[in-house]
Structure 1
Amino acid sequence: MRVLVTGASGFVGSHAVAALLADGHKPVLLVRDPEKTRRVLAKVGVVEPVSLYKGDIRDAVAVRAGLEQCDAVIHAAAEIGVVNQVGDAAGTNVAGLKNVLGQAAELGLDPIVHISTIGVFVPPTEPVITTESPLSSPRNDYGRTKVLGERYARQLQERGTPITIVYPAGVIGPHQPSIDALMEGLRAGLNQGWPITSGGVGIVDVRDLAVVLARCLEPGRGPRRFMLGGHHLTWAQLADVCDEVTGERCRRFRAPSAVLRGAAAVLDAVKLIKRIDYPLTRDAVEMMVTMVRTCDTPTFEALGVSLRPVQETVADSLRWLAQEGHIASVKVGRLAGRVTP
């Protein structure tokens, strides 16, 4: 199957390309910077020639030209902004998304796979998040644009468009082109210490997510939604896993949710005038202290997939962070060696 992939120079998109090739698909990549994309793909083991089409998802004409070459699409391009400032969130997460999903629907592509985020349900109103949980009302541009994009995708689903929406939680793993989100959190946790607070985190290996996306490429299945919250850990449990895989004891400090929210608000204000290398923001704290478990069983059963052990995911992530110089090697203890895709 010829599959258009957007965001192939990003973390999830690049790993998705590797998974597609492993399953025998022919990816066609819509990218803004072909040379950068080739470098990123080489890091995840993609060395064979792939079709690259230069274009921006905000350009409807370029998007349509790419879609017309394909049978299906995986839409991985997005502006992410939980711990860092975002760029053109509305242009990418709303207008760009509509260019991809809307035109794919017009052209009859099947399936149309959209990577959303568990963040559209946070803060949750139920003890377990499912694909039917109520959508949230985020306070920042990133969250608001992701929910707007989600609502558009669901409108297309209601018309019978074969859109598959996947909701990953905190995605980590080796070979992240730009450190962000939970990978940034891992670095900060080992360098400055883990805040032990309420809530928790869902951990998804980027390589497992890529397999899920490849398995979604089944035509004729109609609209579908798949939750992928991954391994749910409290913050103390995540610190324990880091200790287990590194053989070192990382620092911990108690941080009641109210104190953490206040500290994050102060940091947000200070970061407007001074660079501070710590990924604590008011939006990140909301995710941290309110996250609950997710119901992933329907995803595993429908797609025949499973998750690798969380220890393997965390170990590979920390090993790669040290290998790339994002964490001092002394912080990762016994973790060493070459990182594989």
Structure 2
Amino acid sequence: MTVLVTGGTGFVGSHTVAALRRAGRPVRLLVRDPARVAPALAPLGVDPDGVEVVSGDVTDPAAVAAAVRGCAAVLHAASVYSFDPRAHARMRAVNVRGTEVVLDAARSAGVGQIGYVSTFGALLPADHDPVTPVSPVGRPRETYLATKADAERVARRHQDEGAPLVVTYPVATLGPHDPYLGDQTARLRNLLRGLMPIWPTGGFPVGDVRDLARLHAEVLRPGHGPGRFLGPGRYVSTREYVRTVRQVTGRPLPTVHLPAGAMLPVGRLADLAQRVLPVDLPAQYGAIYTCRVSRGVDTTATDRLLGAPARPFEQTVADTVRWLAGAGHLSRRRAGRAAAREA
């Protein structure tokens, strides 16, 4: 009954491990750095000593083959999620090649349940609204989304060949306990630090990592068949996003919204500068592009499976801000009244 999880020390992966352990499932992790396991899992109430750890990289066929051996299920959650141009080479290797290696190894080992964590962005740009689990794979003009679209084609080929594969499509994900302070969490933090006074128009679907983890535990439940599920959440315009953060924190957060199309050249220039600058720039082409091409998501099947819709966006934002302050990533002053609320 052991479940192998790749990417288990990341944001989505660590919360998924916690959900699997709460469901009583034995978990094995394939990780590059075993020292990351305890800091990622302990804050979620998972005893690191109760999880089996195998060292290796998802792009190494021998390491992956050894990791999947004897497992009843595999969840491939490892990927490089970033709009930082400095990560392009690594994401091309991990997101596509890693998916090929892990899914091939799982099928060769006869694993009965395989899960692959894609992204709603792999279905962009879409010619219809909302995006559904059966939407065609997109051809996005942005490196991260393009690598995930290529990986999605790998996953769908396996499904077409009859593999026992479930694909999930997380939306932009927030929530507490982000081990690496990833893209979405960092963007919220930057807004509260006053580093993002200019926002593109448009928006993107947003969900809670805890709801997504529940989805992963559910689709890996023994007896659950193959399929595709959009991650829990809903579309949020950038104006609503900023407005909600204002409400949660009680801070004015002055911002200006400019047409996303007009901001794309600025994003390109920022990406060029980011390649040589040692500091992280808050302006990124990929984030602007995503705001421009995103659509709503149809989560009907997901809500039915989980028995409830995603938790309110306001709650997710409040919990994320509170955690940022509690973990020392944000001052209590910048967290505003969210830091004063009970966790």
- Superposed CA deviations along residues 179-209 of structure 1, whole A, max 9, x for unmatched, are 2221122112222345454321211111111
Name the counterpart of 2:109: 107
Name the counterpart of 1:154: 156
Out of 76-85 and 49-58, give the one that drifted further. Answer: 76-85
SS of 2:211 mapped into structure 1: helix
Q: Residues 72-87 of structure 1 correspond to what in structure 2 (within 5 A)?
A: 72-83=73-84, 85-86=86-87, 87=89
Q: CA deviation at 1:306?
A: 3.1
Name the counterpart of 2:259: 256
Name the counterpart of 2:64: 63
Determine whether 1:88 maps to 2:90.
Answer: yes
2 CA distance for matches of 1:263 and 1:91? 27
> Match of 1:267, as an amino acid?
A
> Match of 2:51, as an amino acid?
V
Q: Between the two proteins, what is the percent identity of the paired residues?
A: 36
Normalised to the residue count of structure 2, the TM-score between the two structures is 0.92
1 CA distance for matches of 2:186 and 2:84? 8
Name the counterpart of 1:17: 17
Name the counterpart of 1:175: 177
* Aligned partners of 1:169 and 1:229 also within 8 Å: yes
Structure-2 change in CA distance of 1:139 and 1:195 (3 Å): same
Name the counterpart of 2:46: 46
Q: CA deviation at 1:30?
A: 1.1
> Match of 1:217, as an amino acid?
L
- Superposition RMSD in Å: 2.0
Out of 317-326 and 278-287, give the one that drifted further. Answer: 317-326
1 CA distance for matches of 2:83 and 2:196? 19
2 CA distance for matches of 1:30 and 1:274? 33
2:202 counterpart (196, 199, 203):
199
* Aligned partners of 1:316 and 1:339 also within 8 Å: no
- Superposed CA deviations along residues 47-68 of structure 1, whole A, max 9, x for unmatched, are 2521111121111111111111
Give unmatched runs, 5+ long, in structure 1.
none
Out of 69-78 and 272-281, give the one that drifted further. Answer: 272-281
> Match of 2:137, as an amino acid?
L
2 CA distance for matches of 1:94 and 1:61? 17
1 CA distance for matches of 2:122 and 2:26? 31
Normalised to the residue count of structure 1, the TM-score between the two structures is 0.93
1 CA distance for matches of 2:276 and 2:108? 46
Q: Residues 142-291 of structure 1 correspond to what in structure 2 (within 5 A)?
A: 142-190=144-192, 191-193=194-196, 195-228=198-231, 230-291=233-294
Structure-2 change in CA distance of 1:81 and 1:112 (3 Å): same
SS of 2:45 mapped into structure 1: coil
SS of 2:115 mapped into structure 1: strand
Give unmatched runs, 5+ long, in structure 2.
none
Structure-2 change in CA distance of 1:261 and 1:119 (3 Å): same
Name the counterpart of 1:125: 127
- Superposed CA deviations along residues 138-192 of structure 1, whole A, max 9, x for unmatched, are 3343223211211111011011111000001101111112222211221122223
> Match of 1:133, as an amino acid?
S
